[in-house]
Amino acid sequence: MPAFPVAAAEAVGDARLRGNLRHATHTIRDKRARAVAELPDWPELRAAGAAVKDRTLRHLDHYLERLERAVTAAGGHVHWAADAAEANRIVTALVLATGEREVVKVKSMVTQEIGLNAALAEAGIRADETDLAELIVQLGDDLPSHILVPAIHRNRGEIRDIFRDRMADRGRPAPEGLTDDPADLAEAARLHLRRKFLDAKVGVSGANFMVAETGTMVVVESEGNGRMCLTLPETLISVVGIEKVVPTWRDLEIFLQLLPRSSTAERMNPYTSMWTGTTDEDGPRAFHLVLLDNGRSDALADTVGRQALRCIRCSACLNVCPVYERAGGHAYGSAYPGPIGAILTPQLRGVTSELDASLPYASSLCGACYEVCPVAIDIPEVLVHLRERVVRGGEVTVRGTRTVIRPAGGHAAERAAMRAARWVFDHPGVLRAGQRLAARTRRLAPRRRLPGPGRAWTDTRDLPPVPAEPFRDWWRRSRGEGSGR
Our CB check for ligand SF4 shows the closer of 79 and 313 to be 313
Q: Least Å distance between CB 262 and other proteins?
A: 17
* Residue 469 engages other proteins in binding (rule: CB under 8 A): yes
**Subset of residues 272 to 311 that bind ligand SF4, contact rule: CB under 6 A:** 311
* Residue 483 engages other proteins in binding (rule: CB under 8 A): yes
Our CB check for other proteins shows the closer of 96 and 438 to be 438
- In terms of C-beta density within 10 A (0-12 exposed, 13-18 middle, 19 or more buried), how is residue 202 classed? buried
What strands, in cross-sheet order, belong to the sheet with 126-129? 77-81, 286-292, 235-241, 202-205, 102-105, 126-129
Q: How far apart are the first and last CA of the chain?
A: 54
474 binds, among ligand SF4, other proteins, none (CB under 5 to 8 A by kind): other proteins
**Subset of residues 313 to 342 that bind other proteins, contact rule: CB under 8 A:** 322-323, 326-327
* Residue 317 engages ligand SF4 in binding (rule: CB under 6 A): yes
Interface segment toward other proteins; rule CB under 8 A; list 232-240, 258-266, 282-290, 367-375: 367-375
Distance CA 479, CA 485 (A): 12
What b-and-e string marks burial along 267-297, b requiring 16 or more CB atoms within 10 Å of the CB? Answer: eebebbbbbbbbeeeebbebbbbbbbbbbbb
* Residue 125 engages ligand SF4 in binding (rule: CB under 6 A): no
Distance CA 175, CA 357 (A): 46
Our CB check for ligand SF4 shows the closer of 25 and 88 to be 25
Q: Least Å distance between CB 476 and other proteins?
A: 8
Kindly tell me which residue out of 2, 5, 115, 173 binds other proteins, with binding defined by CB under 8 A: 5
8 A C-beta contact, residue 287 and residue 275: yes
* Residue 381 engages other proteins in binding (rule: CB under 8 A): yes
* Residue 110 engages ligand SF4 in binding (rule: CB under 6 A): no
Pairing of strands 235-241, 126-129: unpaired
* Residue 479 engages other proteins in binding (rule: CB under 8 A): yes
Q: Least Å distance between CB 10 and other proteins?
A: 8
Q: Residue type at 33?
A: A
Q: What is the DSSP letter of 295?
A: T
- In terms of C-beta density within 10 A (0-12 exposed, 13-18 middle, 19 or more buried), how is residue 235 classed? buried
**Subset of residues 394 to 433 that bind other proteins, contact rule: CB under 8 A:** 414-415, 418-419, 421-422, 425-426, 428, 431
Distance CA 334, CA 145 (A): 9
Distance CA 328, CA 7 (A): 9
3-state SS class at 256 = helix
Residue 309: which of 110, 53, 82, 115 has the closest Cα?
53
* Residue 370 engages other proteins in binding (rule: CB under 8 A): yes
**Subset of residues 13 to 72 that bind other proteins, contact rule: CB under 8 A:** 13, 18
Our CB check for ligand SF4 shows the closer of 232 and 320 to be 320
Site string for ligand SF4, 401-440 (x = CB under 6 A): ----------------------------------------
* Residue 313 engages ligand SF4 in binding (rule: CB under 6 A): yes
Q: CA separation (Å) from 268 to 253, 265, 375?
A: 11, 9, 17
326 binds, among ligand SF4, other proteins, none (CB under 5 to 8 A by kind): other proteins
* Residue 150 engages ligand SF4 in binding (rule: CB under 6 A): no
Residue 357: which of 378, 342, 367 has the closest Cα?
342
Helices (H), 179-263: 182-199, 225-231, 249-263
Chain positions contacting other proteins, by CB under 8 A? 4-5, 8-9, 12-13, 18, 322-323, 326-327, 360-368, 370-371, 381, 384, 386-392, 414-415, 418-419, 421-422, 425-426, 428, 431, 435, 438, 453-454, 456-457, 459-464, 466-467, 469-472, 474-476, 479, 481, 483-485
Chain positions contacting ligand SF4, by CB under 6 A? 262, 311-317, 340, 372-375, 377
